[in-house]
């Protein structure tokens, strides 16, 4: 088979060195990049289009699951970590395999075998968040760049065809997802679906106006007007 082009992502130099040494025993593996954090990893995947990424889970700034959310299905993933508490979650997000540090050359060979056998991977990001938890920041990939938006800075979210637009501080950031998925990820005590096309951060609401029979508009603190459906009005009333 053709070479496996691999990226190693780990913030510990010793861990990268050991993995590099083990991979030297596999002539079909080519290491195309080594990254010390999640931002470097996202850029490397975008620029180099590797076949496989060895991804540490516990890293500063972006953890491994957040990297996985950003790279999507662009590359197969083998998680590596010193903490076995992440094992179940790693397989829930359909990683090819999971290596618990310290792992042996034999265990690494087994994991590479799973990649070579083309174990199918699907729905990489939908289940990356533990059930019941709500996100505190939104990660949006723009080419090799990553935008990190704290949810408290979101003004509102608008559906735009196959994307949603996160509006924050006068700027717009597009992410390929449904408005329903965005709504499910957010705290319902802070964000409410006011219309089939809009989710509002209730902290940004200045007032509600009635502009026609059973039709309302949400007026934001910056003067933005958003339509409010009858169902959305009921949701808002229940929250306010």
Q: How many CB atoms lie within 10 A of CB 13?
A: 10
Residue 120 clears pLDDT 50, i.e. is over it: no
Asked if 112 and 8 sit in the same domain, the reply is: yes
Contact, 38 vs 59, CB < 8 A? yes
Q: Does 102 share its domain with 141?
A: no
**Contact between residue 93 and residue 68 where contact means Cβ atoms under 8 Å apart:** yes
Residue 129 covered by a domain: no
- 229: buried, middle or exposed (CB in 10 Å: 19+, 13-18, 0-12)? middle
User: Does 63 share its domain with 154?
Assistant: no
Number of domains composing the chain? 2
Rounded CA-CA distance 64/68 in Å is 6
| 159 and 190 together in one domain | yes
Count of all residues that appear for the chain in the document: 240
Residue, of 86 and 217, whose pLDDT is higher: 217
* pLDDT above 70: percentage of residues in the chain: 87
Return d(Cα 136, Cα 134) in angstroms, integer: 7
C-alpha distances out from residue 179 to 144, 186, 224, 228, Å: 24, 11, 20, 16
Domain of 105, CATH number, reads 3.40.50.2300
* 70 within domain boundaries: yes
pLDDT at position 36 is 94
153 & 75 share domain: no
Q: Which domain does 17 fall in, by range?
A: 4-116
Section 209-218 average pLDDT: 84
Contact 7, 50 (CB under 8 A): yes
Residue 71's nearest CA partner among 99, 96, 41 is 41
The per-residue pLDDT of the chain, averaged, comes to 86
58 within domain boundaries: yes
Does 130 fall in a domain? Answer: no
Is pLDDT at 62 greater than 90 in this prediction?
no
Q: Which helix (H) or strand (E) element contains residue 129? A: none
- Whether the CB-CB separation of 8 and 44 falls below 8 Å is answered with no
* Cβ–Cβ under 8 Å, residues 199 and 157: yes
The answer to the question of residue 131 being in a domain is: no
- The pLDDT of 116-145, averaged and rounded, is 63
Report pLDDT for 121.
39
| pLDDT, tens only, 70-81 | 887 668 899 898
């Amino acid at each position: 088979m053709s070479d496996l082009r691999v990226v190693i992502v780990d913030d510990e130099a010793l861990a990268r060195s050991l993995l590099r040494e083990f991979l030297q025993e596999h002539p079909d593996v080519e290491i195309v990049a080594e990254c010390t954090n999640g931002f470097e990893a996202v850029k490397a995947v975008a620029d180099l289009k590797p076949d496989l990424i060895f991804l540490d889970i516990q890293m500063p700034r972006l953890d491994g699951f957040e990297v996985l959310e950003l790279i999507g299905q662009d590359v197969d993933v083998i998680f590596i970590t010193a903490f076995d508490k992440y094992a179940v979650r790693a397989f829930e997000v359909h990683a090819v395999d999971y290596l618990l540090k310290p792992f042996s050359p034999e265990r690494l060979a087994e994991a590479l075998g799973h990649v070579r056998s083309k174990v199918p991977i699907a729905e990489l990001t939908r289940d990356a968040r533990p059930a019941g938890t709500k996100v505190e920041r939104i990660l949006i990939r723009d080419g090799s760049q990553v935008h990190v938006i704290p949810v408290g800075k979101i003004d509102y979210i608008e559906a735009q065809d196959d994307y949603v637009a996160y509006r924050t501080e006068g700027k717009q950031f597009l992410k390929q997802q449904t408005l329903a998925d965005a709504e499910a990820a957010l705290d319902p005590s802070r964000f409410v679906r006011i219309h089939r096309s809009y989710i509002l951060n209730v902290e940004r609401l200045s007032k509600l106006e009635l502009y026609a029979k059973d039709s309302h508009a949400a007026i934001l603190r910056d003067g933005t007007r958003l339509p409010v459906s009858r169902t959305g009005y009921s949701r808002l009333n229940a929250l306010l």
